[in-house]
């Protein structure tokens, strides 16, 4: 491992030769980046020592949004200075290398990024862990804006090789699909043999997960589908029928070709079920193989050595698959297999949206996974048998908790039944699970339920993304907070210190200028770094209510034009986020943002006051530029619908003030900072619940009674904003004809007032920057180190 600049230069030149096969001088910048990444990854590998005696956590997730790695790993290994100065000597710039790195989009949003933050914290805290996921050939689409609309381009991230991954053909495992199950009786017990219609090969690729200080290096193992040699149609090949011979290959590879781009809605496609089973079965086989290598057939200690976590229901077949392997391959009985599986597996729920709760038609499931289906049917049968049929309303309870019901396999119910622990991702979310969504389970097995409020990697999203603030902190409260994020509390002592507050303001300004430059580069729009940066970045979804934010801007614009006495501090409204290709409403909201931006940004009468920007292609890498520049964090979902949110935490840590509803983790943010340091508005979750129940809300009434609402809604239908890409009837209809399912108009007035009060506070610098510092000071709780420590102590027992 190199320590000095000199050693680095020597090793780097050597890496160019070994990795690229050229002298340093002859390598392109891209080739040099590639050699450097390989060098750092081998350095990380050297640090890795296999521990034997510990319990290991396997985190199964269909998505891992890891972001770029080079800058993060240099920081974690303490090599940033050595490498950047070494490169400078060689006439190179490390920043150029950072730019070249691809940001793998192997996830949709919060759920996938949470998995990546957990990998960071697990390694940084020194726990043995492996991430288990899918190596999608194409990540989430890249987003462009063309004529004011979202356009999707494929994300060909593997086009030029990905230097951080290492393929492990020797660890490939077969995965079966289709066919039938043969039963035989040997005079003693039944034997089951799955005769598949098709067997494919799952090939793992390992990416190192480097912890802070390089103490622990774990792996993220992502699986890719490939045909078995014998699966290749030799007959067709010999006949010269290459199209036919290749078709099989293409069909198999298709399994890991694409990431489904819908967050929180289902495709119902068989290919998705194949993806889910492929990575789950491969991961389980891998665990069993490794366990046998270390402990032979001491199955009785399996759950003391292995914890298996399922990130949502996507890997819900983990437990039945483990039982299948234990019974059919290792010869264990049902009871023993059940005991082992259910003592190992735990489950996190991430949403209460009914359209995201996975269900598979029984026929489809049984045809694709016949042996798994048998096992699930037996789990369901035993569950029904064990049911207490003497309590009132047991039929209703059974209907709500059974795995097989109405011709469908209910994956959430399967997950709860096979798991030793079930958790939600913020206090309010867990309460809603216990009292509404999974109410009957909570009555039956309350001890299974617990809350684990989400967290974020404070190293990536604060220390790395906000270097000016990091430096300022190191000068004032030291460096302890990198290991112990709760030490950010020490900042509270500086909340009244005017010269410190001025430095915080200056750091924010620097970050705003950095973002302004990025905006100029990506959109051509010039924004004023002295305006307030009001930012909403997240996936586009009706319940997240970007529309409420847009109506706010339309209303402000109307009033600025109509009333010469109406003044506010200048504000730049910034949006970013992707909409699923098929989600017309969400795409229309993006179209509306682009349309109002085009009108407002070209209107000289208001331009010194307001501007609107849509930043294309929101991703982990540009998120790291966006969060640190924010002053107002928009967290305005319909109360009860955002399970947690994690963007809210990233903004808060970077000193933005939250403008939000009492939803998800905003509730905990409020408790931590106190109501003077956050702006809360709108209906509460229970009020929404009651109004929905009673059907007492009528959107039309608000339209007729509130002139400002009427005006902005009418503008959706006239030619105010339709010049760029057409009208907005769909949005208008959702608010009025469909009676505003997400209570946008109902919360409008309270939102406007909250916004104006908050912006009013900006005039008093001391108040504002004191609030800002207070938010950062209280944000240590939201480090994923805290979250992981809770999972470790209370669920995984590592
Ligand atoms: C997702 O990002 C989330 C939930 C999902 O439910 C699916 C996806 Cl892709 C199946 C998000 C939640 O919306 C968000 O509130 C939460 O903070 C995040 O998961 C991590 O728990």
pLDDT in tens, 423-448: 999 999 999 999 999 999 999 999 99
Predicted local confidence at residue 51, as pLDDT: 60
pLDDT digits (tens, 9 = 90+) for 694-740: 999 999 999 999 999 999 999 999 999 999 999 999 999 999 999 99
* CB-based burial, 369-392: b 16+ in 10 Å, e otherwise: bbbbbbbbbebbeebeeebeeeee
Round to whole Å and give the CA distance between 383 and 399. Answer: 12
CA–chain centroid gap for 44, Å, is 25
Residue spans of the chain under pLDDT 50? none
Residue 111 C-alpha to ligand 1 middle, in angstroms?
5
**Which of 109, 113, 359, 411 most suits a substitution to test ligand 1, by most atoms within 8 Å of the C-beta?**
109
Predicted local confidence at residue 298, as pLDDT: 98
User: Does residue 644 line the site of ligand 1, with CB under 6 A?
Assistant: yes
Predicted local confidence at residue 232, as pLDDT: 58
Domain edges within the chain: 48-67+103-453+790-795, 467-782
Helix ranges (H only) for 539-684 are: 546-562, 584-601, 620-626, 647-653, 666-673
Per CATH, domain 467-782 is 1.10.10.10 = no
Residue 713 C-alpha to ligand 1 middle, in angstroms?
30
The neighbouring-strand residues paired with 679 are 659
At 746, which helix (H) or strand (E)? helix 744-761
Contact 155, 138 (CB under 8 A): yes
**Which of 106, 264, 267, 784 most suits a substitution to test ligand 1, by most atoms within 8 Å of the C-beta?**
264
Q: What Cα–Cα distance (Å) separates residue 793 from each residue in 118, 123, 485, 572, 789? A: 15, 16, 18, 44, 6
Q: Identify the three-state secondary structure at position 130.
A: strand
Helix ranges (H only) for 674-740 are: 685-694, 699-705, 707-717, 729-735
Round to whole Å and give the CA distance between 431 and 326. Answer: 36
Q: What length does the chain have?
A: 798
Q: What does the DSSP 8-state code read for residue 138?
A: B
Cα atoms in the 13 Å half-sphere on the side-chain side of 194: 24
User: Does residue 643 line the site of ligand 1, with CB under 6 A?
Assistant: yes
Tokens at 4, concatenated: 């000095």
Predicted local confidence at residue 230, as pLDDT: 61
Within 239-393, strands assigned E span: 306-311, 345-348, 359-361
Predicted local confidence at residue 323, as pLDDT: 98
CA–chain centroid gap for 282, Å, is 23
Q: Kindly give, in sequence order, each residue whose CB lies less than 8 Å from that of residue 42, ignoring residues fewer than 6 positions away.
A: none
User: Does residue 107 line the site of ligand 1, with CB under 6 A?
Assistant: no
The neighbouring-strand residues paired with 750 are none
Contact 587, 150 (CB under 8 A): yes
Within 117-210, strands assigned E span: 129-134, 142-146, 149-153, 166-167, 173-177, 180-185, 190-195, 198-210
Predicted local confidence at residue 732, as pLDDT: 98
User: Does residue 541 line the site of ligand 1, with CB under 6 A?
Assistant: no
Residue 320 C-alpha to ligand 1 middle, in angstroms?
25
In this structure, is the dihedral angle defined by the CA atoms of residues 484, 467, 549 and 150, taken in order, positive or negative? negative
* Helix, strand, coil % over all residues of the chain, rounded to 5: 55, 15, 30
Burial of 346 (0-12, 13-18, 19+ CB in 10 A): buried
Predicted local confidence at residue 482, as pLDDT: 98
User: Does residue 316 line the site of ligand 1, with CB under 6 A?
Assistant: no
Round to whole Å and give the CA distance between 328 and 231. Answer: 23
Round to whole Å and give the CA distance between 158 and 153. Answer: 15
Q: What is the pTM of this model?
A: 0.97
Residue 352 C-alpha to ligand 1 middle, in angstroms?
10
User: Does residue 677 line the site of ligand 1, with CB under 6 A?
Assistant: no
Tokens at 295, concatenated: 């402990």
Positions annotated as catalytic residues are 350, 538-539, 544, 646, 650
CATH architecture of 48-67+103-453+790-795: 3-Layer(aba) Sandwich (3.40)
Q: Identify the three-state secondary structure at position 233.
A: coil
User: Does residue 637 line the site of ligand 1, with CB under 6 A?
Assistant: no
Q: Do domains 48-67+103-453+790-795 and 467-782 have the same CATH topology?
A: yes
Round to whole Å and give the CA distance between 668 and 337. Answer: 40
The region that residue 189 occupies, defined by phi over 0 for left and psi between -120 and 50 for alpha, beta otherwise, is beta
Phi then psi for 496, rounded to 5 degrees? Answer: -100, 0
Nearest Cα residue to 150 out of 543, 575, 735, 620: 575
Residue 152 C-alpha to ligand 1 middle, in angstroms?
22
Predicted local confidence at residue 248, as pLDDT: 85
Nearest Cα residue to 643 out of 442, 413, 356, 308: 356
Round to whole Å and give the CA distance between 40 and 78. Answer: 11
Asked if the interface predicted TM-score (ipTM) of this complex is over 0.85, the answer is yes
pLDDT digits (tens, 9 = 90+) for 196-228: 999 999 999 999 999 999 789 999 999 999 999
Ligand 1: nearest atom to the Cα of 646: 17
Q: What does the DSSP 8-state code read for residue 482?
A: G
Predicted local confidence at residue 50, as pLDDT: 60
Predicted local confidence at residue 30, as pLDDT: 96
Tell how many helices (H) and how many strands (E) occur in the chain. Answer: 33, 23
Round to whole Å and give the CA distance between 569 and 721. Answer: 25
Predicted local confidence at residue 53, as pLDDT: 67
User: Does residue 312 line the site of ligand 1, with CB under 6 A?
Assistant: yes
Nearest Cα residue to 270 out of 178, 405, 350, 193: 178
């Amino acid at each position: 491992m190199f320590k000095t600049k000199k050693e680095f230069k020597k090793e780097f030149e050597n890496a160019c030769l070994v990795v690229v096969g050229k002298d340093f001088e002859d390598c392109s910048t891209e080739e040099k980046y590639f050699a450097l990444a390989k060098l750092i990854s081998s350095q990380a590998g050297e640090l890795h020592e296999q521990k034997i005696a510990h319990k290991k956590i396997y985190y199964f997730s269909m998505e891992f949004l890891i972001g770029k790695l080079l800058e993060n790993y240099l920081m974690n290994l303490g090599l940033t200075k050595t490498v950047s100065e070494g490169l400078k000597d060689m006439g190179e710039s490390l920043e150029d290398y950072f730019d070249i790195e691809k940001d793998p989009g192997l996830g949709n949003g919060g759920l996938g990024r949470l998995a990546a933050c957990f990998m960071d914290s697990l390694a940084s805290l020194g726990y043995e862990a492996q991430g288990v996921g899918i190596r999608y050939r194409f990540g989430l689409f890249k987003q462009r804006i063309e004529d004011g609309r979202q356009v999707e381009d494929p994300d060909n991230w593997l086009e030029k090789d990905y230097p951080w991954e290492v393929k492990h053909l020797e660890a490939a495992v077969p995965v079966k699909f289709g066919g039938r199950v043969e039963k035989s009786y040997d005079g003693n017990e039944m034997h089951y043999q799955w005769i598949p219609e098709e067997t494919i090969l799952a090939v793992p690729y390992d990416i190192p997960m480097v912890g802070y200080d390089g103490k622990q290096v774990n792996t993220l193992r992502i699986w890719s589908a490939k045909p078995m040699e014998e699966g290749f149609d030799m007959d067709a090949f010999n006949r010269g029928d290459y199209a036919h011979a290749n078709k099989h290959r293409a069909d198999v590879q298709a399994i890991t070709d694409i990431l489904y781009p819908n967050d929180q809605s289902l495709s119902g496609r068989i290919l998705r079920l194949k993806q889910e089973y492929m990575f789950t079965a491969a991961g389980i086989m891998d665990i069993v193989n490794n366990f046998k290598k270390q402990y032979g057939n001491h199955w009785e200690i399996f759950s003391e050595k292995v914890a298996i976590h399922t990130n949502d229901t996507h890997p819900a077949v983990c437990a039945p698959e483990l039982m299948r392997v234990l019974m059919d391959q290792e010869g264990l009985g049902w009871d023993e297999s059940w005991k082992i599986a259910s003592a190992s597996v735990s489950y996190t729920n991430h949403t209460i949206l009914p359209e995201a709760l996975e269900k598979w038609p029984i026929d489809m499931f049984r045809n694709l996974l016949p042996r798994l289906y048998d096992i699930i049917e037996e789990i369901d049968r035993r569950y029904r048998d064990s049911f207490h049929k003497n309590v009132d309303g047991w039929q209703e309870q059974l209907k709500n908790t059974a795995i097989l019901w109405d011709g469908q396999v209910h994956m959430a119910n399967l997950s709860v039944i096979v798991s030793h622990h079930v958790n939600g991702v913020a206090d309010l979310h867990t309460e809603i699970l216990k009292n509404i969504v999974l109410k009957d389970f909570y009555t039956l097995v309350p001890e299974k339920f617990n809350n684990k409020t989400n967290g974020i990697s404070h190293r990536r999203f604060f220390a790395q993304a906000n270097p000016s603030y990091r430096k300022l902190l190191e000068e004032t409260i030291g460096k302890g907070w990198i290991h112990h994020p709760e030490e950010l509390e020490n900042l509270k002592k500086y909340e009244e210190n005017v010269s410190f507050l001025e430095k915080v303001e200056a750091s924010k300004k620097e970050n705003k200028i950095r973002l302004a430059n990025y905006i100029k580069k990506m959109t051509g729009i010039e924004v004023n770094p002295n305006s307030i940066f009001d930012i909403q970045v997240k996936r586009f979804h009706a319940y997240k209510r970007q529309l409420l934010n847009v109506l706010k801007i339309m209303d402000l614009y109307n009033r600025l034009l109509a009333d010469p006495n109406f003044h506010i501090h200048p504000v730049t409204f910034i949006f970013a986020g992707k909409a699923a290709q098929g989600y017309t409403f969400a795409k229309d909201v993006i179209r509306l943002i682009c349309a109002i931006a085009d009108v407002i940004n070209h209107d000289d009468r208001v331009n010194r006051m307001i501007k609107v920007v849509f930043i294309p292609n929101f991703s982990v890498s540009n998120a790291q530029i966006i969060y640190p520049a924010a002053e107002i964090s928009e967290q305005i979902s319909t109360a009860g619908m955002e399970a947690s949110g994690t963007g809210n935490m990233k903004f808060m840590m970077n000193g933005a003030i939250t403008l939000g509803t009492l939803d998800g983790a905003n509730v905990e943010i409020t408790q931590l900072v106190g109501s003077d340091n956050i702006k809360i508005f709108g209906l509460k979750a229970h009020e929404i619940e009651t109004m929905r129940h009673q059907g007492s809300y009528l959107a039309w009434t608000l339209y007729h009674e509130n002139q400002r609402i009427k005006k902005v809604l009418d503008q959706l239908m006239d030619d105010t904003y339709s010049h760029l890409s057409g009208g907005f009837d769909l949005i208008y209809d959702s608010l009025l004809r469909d009676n505003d399912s997400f209570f946008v108009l109902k919360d409008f007035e309270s939102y406007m007032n909250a916004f104006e009060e908050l912006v009013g506070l900006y005039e008093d610098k001391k108040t504002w920057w004191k609030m800002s510092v207070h938010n950062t000071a209280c944000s240590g709780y939201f480090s994923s180190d805290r979250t992981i420590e809770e999972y470790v102590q209370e669920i995984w027992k590592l």
